[in-house]
């Protein structure tokens, strides 16, 4: 299989040991894949969208598709980046209605990172090192790709188990599995349609539930309504376009499915406290 190639559906690369990105040379990496960063030791900062995150040892970071990710600086780092696309997952592929697929993308999607205790990270390292060794088998090695796929799936499931514990501990209760699967379906549906469809009737219809049920479902996991969740996603994308593209306000407005720039500007200010132009200037000054 293709190793460490941008077009590959799965790659593993070590993090740079020491790295500081100057502002004028700062690299913006807009993901068309998902990424898990295993940060075992060292210090530094990452930037995910507009949030700066201080790095702690024995932490896993999750970057979702379409997020903006940057390394600001790292020092004496030991860690790896795993980048993957849905098609790398065998038997699940892009079938978002599969409960199997949901288990691979359920609780991780609720978290930006997980901090592990020493014992937990040691067990994870053992599994990861087996995956890493197989990944660097010579190209064309017998059944190498299949072995890597299934080692990767089992690694994801172990991470999902931990993510589930974190989410349940945070919510102080057991989460209904059926609801979790439906919620995951909504997230996938939203990610594919939020730039062209802002109607909650559309999402409810696609999930074969009522608008009220959809709103209650999203509120169970996020504390906000489905409509607010959608608007938050739209505004997040607007922030990315304002901060990292040269598109003007009208172009961004139309890209995000709005007919009237004035309405979009008012919504953006109501939700962020800044006009789109003010937000762009603030980001350019950072």
Least confident residue range of 130-144, 153-167, 173-187:
173-187
Of the pLDDT bands very low, low, confident and very high (cuts 50, 70, 90), residue 106 is low
Mean pLDDT of the chain, nearest integer: 83
Residue 81 has pLDDT above 80, yes or no: yes
Query: Exposed, middle or buried: residue 45 (CB in 10 Å: 0-12, 13-18, 19+)?
Result: middle
Measured distance CA(1)–CA(87) in Å, rounded: 14
pLDDT score, position 156: 86
Residue 25 has pLDDT above 60, yes or no: no
pLDDT score, position 107: 65
The domains of the chain, with CATH numbers, are 10-171 (2.60.120.280), 177-285 (1.10.10.60)
> What pLDDT digit, counting tens, does each position of 126-155 carry?
999 999 999 998 877 788 888 998 899 889
Residue 208 has pLDDT above 50, yes or no: yes
Q: Whose CA is closest to 1, among 134, 95, 154, 127?
A: 134
Token representation of residue 196: 């062209």
> What pLDDT digit, counting tens, does each position of 222-279 carry?
889 999 999 999 998 999 889 878 899 999 999 999 999 999 999 999 999 999 999 9
Question: What average pLDDT does range 56-80 have in this prediction?
Answer: 88
Helix residue ranges, H only, the chain: 99-105, 118-135, 144-171, 177-193, 200-206, 211-222, 226-244, 249-255, 261-272, 276-285
pLDDT score, position 168: 66
Question: What average pLDDT does range 21-44 have in this prediction?
Answer: 74
Residue 96 has pLDDT above 50, yes or no: no
Question: What average pLDDT does range 185-205 have in this prediction?
Answer: 92
Residue 37 has pLDDT above 50, yes or no: yes
Which one has a higher pLDDT value, 57 or 240?
A: 57
Query: Exposed, middle or buried: residue 187 (CB in 10 Å: 0-12, 13-18, 19+)?
Result: buried
Per-residue burial over 51-77, b if 16 or more Cβ lie within 10 Å, else e, is: eeeebebbbbbbbbebbbbbbbebeeb
pLDDT score, position 220: 87
Residue 6 has pLDDT above 60, yes or no: no
Measured distance CA(255)–CA(237) in Å, rounded: 10
């Amino acid at each position: 299989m293709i190793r460490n190639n941008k077009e590959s559906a799965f790659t593993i690369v070590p993090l740079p040991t020491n790295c500081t990105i100057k502002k004028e040379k700062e690299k913006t990496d807009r993901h068309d894949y998902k990424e898990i960063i295993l940060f075992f030791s060292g210090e530094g900062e990452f930037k995910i969208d507009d949030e700066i995150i201080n790095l702690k040892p024995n932490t896993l970071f999750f970057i979702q598709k379409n997020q903006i990710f940057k390394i600001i600086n790292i020092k004496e780092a030991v860690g790896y980046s795993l980048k993957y696309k849905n098609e790398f997952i065998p038997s699940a592929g892009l079938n978002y209605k599969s409960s199997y697929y949901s288990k691979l993308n359920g609780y991780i999607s609720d978290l930006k990172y997980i901090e592990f205790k020493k014992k937990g990270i040691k067990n994870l390292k053992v599994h990861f090192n087996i995956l890493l060794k197989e990944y660097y088998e010579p190209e064309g090695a017998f059944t190498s790709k299949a072995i890597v796929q299934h080692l990767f799936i089992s690694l994801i499931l172990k991470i999902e188990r931990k993510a589930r514990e974190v989410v349940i501990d945070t919510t102080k209760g057991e989460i209904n599995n059926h609801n979790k699967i439906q919620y995951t379906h909504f997230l996938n549906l939203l990610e594919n349609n939020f730039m062209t469809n802002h109607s909650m009737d559309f999402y409810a219809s696609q999930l074969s539930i009522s608008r009220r049920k959809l709103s209650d479902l999203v509120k169970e996991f996020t504390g906000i309504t489905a409509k607010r969740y959608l608007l938050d996603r739209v505004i997040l994308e607007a922030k990315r376009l304002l901060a990292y593209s040269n598109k003007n306000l009208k172009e961004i407005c139309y890209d995000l499915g709005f007919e009237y720039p004035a309405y979009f500007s008012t919504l953006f200010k109501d939700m962020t406290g800044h006009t789109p132009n003010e937000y762009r200037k603030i980001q350019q000054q950072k």
